[in-house]
């Protein structure tokens, strides 16, 4: 197989990693389709292939001054540490350079094999590499063994490098590095797409796709060399896509295969909420613009609760709605083990928080009621019934406008009562319509009832019905009369009656009829 071995292009020095904890750059590279290629080849060619893979992975490391910490037939873990004569740390540059060179060598190997008739139709080997700068325990190895390197390396930074190789595999990249590592390379590595990955401690790191090597200032290396390296990174990605499964894995398989949280194209800032099957993150899109909210659902949770179909349906329905009083939905997509929706971020929080902050005057309350009605009208027109209207699901923009949000994956209403200690009861169906309480089929008019409950609370500062048990509260929704508003709001009593009528046939049939009625009243 020597006649299709890749040619070397770039060189480097040799490191000497010190013992103990040190800050270094760690590279983990793994050849994919390795076993399939070996099985497809004759014994002689398979042995030669294994030798070539070992050579190209090792040489890519040692040429750039790295030391091997672990070497297996299909993978290598390497350490790039400071050298005594370094004026300033450059191990991030060397680690990324080695990663790019390794991919180039792997592509040369694959192309050389493909050019020979006896290898036609065989699987295509591809390389995925993760590179991370961080602290780990590094020490000279005493003795040796099969597959061992010259040093040992253990610690969080090593595991992150391994995780980044998985990330590169999941996203179809050739080389994935942490954003901090690329920054430390002082501009030697070009970056492409971005993403965020959750670590085991639930913190996040930003990841960057490495798309090329940037020449040093005054470099005498021909530009074509750098072009070839970039082309190899792309070719390696294309080859991986060709051998990828033509159909997406089942949610259960995806969850089992890739347990880490991974979203491409977004920089995750922090987690801002969690509930049901979804976790909510504040994120920044790679293209810039205002922050967005990522509503992320693990696929295994979706399978257990049959929630994936509803999650997809939520986006499909809301994508039809373009209205200032409905939260904007930007994107729905899937990553390994997760489905997510990207939506508008509301820095001022929800209406519940505003109500707790202090009294709301009647004029502002009416504005909130009208804006909520307008949002409901927009979703009702495309056949969506919210079924969970409450202050927690009404969001405030910076300019004070209100938007209907959180259409939920699960629409079931909790009947659990929790005493907070300050007299409030949380988790009871305060905003439930009589037909929901009776288990009847609901339509848009159940949202109108919930709007009536909200309107009473906004105007008076009190919920219309209070009870010591969920059952008693449900009974009040079904049978109790609509409460009277105070004298200064008596002119709105008929409106409240039209919203909270027990018989839905007696309610406002649509949100627009409510808005028209308020307009006739000069409100």
Active-site residue list: 388
223-228: Cβ within 8 A, 24+ apart:
225/9, 225/10, 228/9, 228/104
The SS3 call for residue 476 is: helix
In this structure, the strands spanning 394-396 and 418-419 are unpaired
Q: Are the beta carbons of 209 and 203 closer than 8 angstroms?
A: no
Q: How far apart are CA 77 and CA 455, in angstroms?
A: 63
Which strand (E) or helix (H) includes residue 189? strand 189-198
What is 104-154 written as a DSSP string?
HHHHHHHHHHHTSGGGTTPPPPEEEEEEEEEEEEEEEPSS--TTB-SEEEE
Cα angle vertex 211, ends 134, 219, to 5°?
90
Would you state the structure tokens that stand for residue 498, as one six-digit string? 């039209």
What dihedral angle (degrees, nearest 10) is formed by the CA atoms of 48, 53, 57, 59? 20
Would you state the structure tokens that stand for residue 156, as one six-digit string? 């969080």
- Annotate 204-226 with b (16+ C-beta within 10 A) or e (fewer): bbbbbbbbbbeeeeeeeeeeeeb
What dihedral angle (degrees, nearest 10) is formed by the CA atoms of 431, 434, 436, 440? -170
Q: Are the beta carbons of 430 and 390 closer than 8 angstroms?
A: yes
Q: Are the beta carbons of 29 and 75 closer than 8 angstroms?
A: yes
Q: How far apart are CA 162 and CA 199, in angstroms?
A: 12
């Amino acid at each position: 197989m020597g006649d299709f071995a890749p040619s070397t292009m770039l060189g480097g020095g040799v490191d000497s990693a010190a013992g103990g904890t040190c800050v270094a750059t760690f590279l983990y590279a793994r050849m994919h389709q390795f076993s399939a290629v070996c099985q497809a080849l004759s014994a002689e060619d398979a042995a030669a292939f294994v030798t070539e893979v070992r050579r190209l992975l090792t040489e890519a490391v040692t040429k750039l001054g790295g030391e091997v910490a672990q070497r297996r037939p299909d993978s290598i873990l390497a350490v790039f540490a400071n050298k005594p004569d370094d004026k300033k740390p450059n191990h991030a540059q060397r680690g990324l350079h080695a990663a790019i060179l390794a991919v180039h060598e792997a592509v040369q190997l694959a192309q050389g094999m493909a050019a020979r008739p006896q290898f036609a139709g065989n699987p295509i080997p591809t390389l995925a590499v993760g590179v991370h700068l961080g602290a780990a325990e590094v020490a000279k190895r005493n003795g040796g063994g099969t597959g061992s390197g010259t040093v040992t390396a253990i610690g969080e930074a090593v595991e992150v490098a391994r995780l980044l190789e998985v990330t590169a595999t999941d996203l179809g990249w050739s080389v994935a590095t942490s954003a901090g590592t690329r920054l430390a390379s002082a501009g030697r590595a070009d970056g492409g797409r971005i993403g965020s990955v959750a670590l085991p401690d639930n913190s996040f790191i930003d990841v960057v796709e490495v798309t090329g090597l940037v020449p040093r200032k005054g470099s005498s290396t021909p530009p074509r060399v750098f072009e070839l390296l970039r082309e190899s990174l792309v070719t390696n990605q294309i080859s991986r896509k060709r051998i990828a499964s033509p159909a997406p894995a089942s949610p259960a398989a995806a969850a089992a295969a890739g347990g880490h949280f991974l979203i491409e194209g977004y920089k995750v800032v922090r987690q801002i909420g969690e509930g049901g099957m979804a976790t909510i993150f504040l994120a920044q899109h790679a293209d810039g613009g205002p922050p967005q909210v990522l509503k992320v659902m693990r696929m295994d949770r979706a399978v257990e609760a049959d929630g994936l179909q509803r999650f997809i349906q939520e986006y499909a329905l809301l994508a039809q709605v373009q209205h200032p009083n409905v939260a904007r939905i930007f994107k729905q997509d899937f990553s390994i083990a997760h489905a997510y929706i990207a939506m508008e971020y509301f820095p001022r929080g929800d209406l519940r928080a505003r109500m707790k902050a202090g009294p709301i005057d009647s004029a502002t309350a009416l504005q909130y009621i009208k804006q909520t009605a307008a949002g409901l009208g927009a979703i009702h027109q495309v056949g969506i019934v919210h079924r969970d209207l409450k202050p927690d699901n009404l969001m405030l923009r910076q300019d004070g406008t209100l938007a209907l949000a959180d259409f939920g994956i699960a629409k079931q209403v909790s009947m659990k009562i929790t005493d907070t200690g300050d007299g409030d009861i949380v988790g009871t169906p305060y905003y439930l319509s009589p037909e929901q309480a009776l288990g009847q089929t609901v339509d848009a008019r159940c949202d109108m009832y919930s709007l009536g409950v909200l309107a009473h609370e906004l105007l008076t500062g009190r919920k219309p019905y209070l009870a010591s048990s969920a059952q008693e509260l449900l009974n009040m929704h079904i049978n109790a009369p609509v409460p009277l508003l105070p004298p200064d709001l008596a002119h709105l009593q008929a409106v409240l009656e039209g919203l909270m009528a027990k018989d839905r046939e007696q309610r406002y049939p649509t949100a627009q009829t409510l808005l028209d009625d308020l307009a006739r009243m000069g409100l």
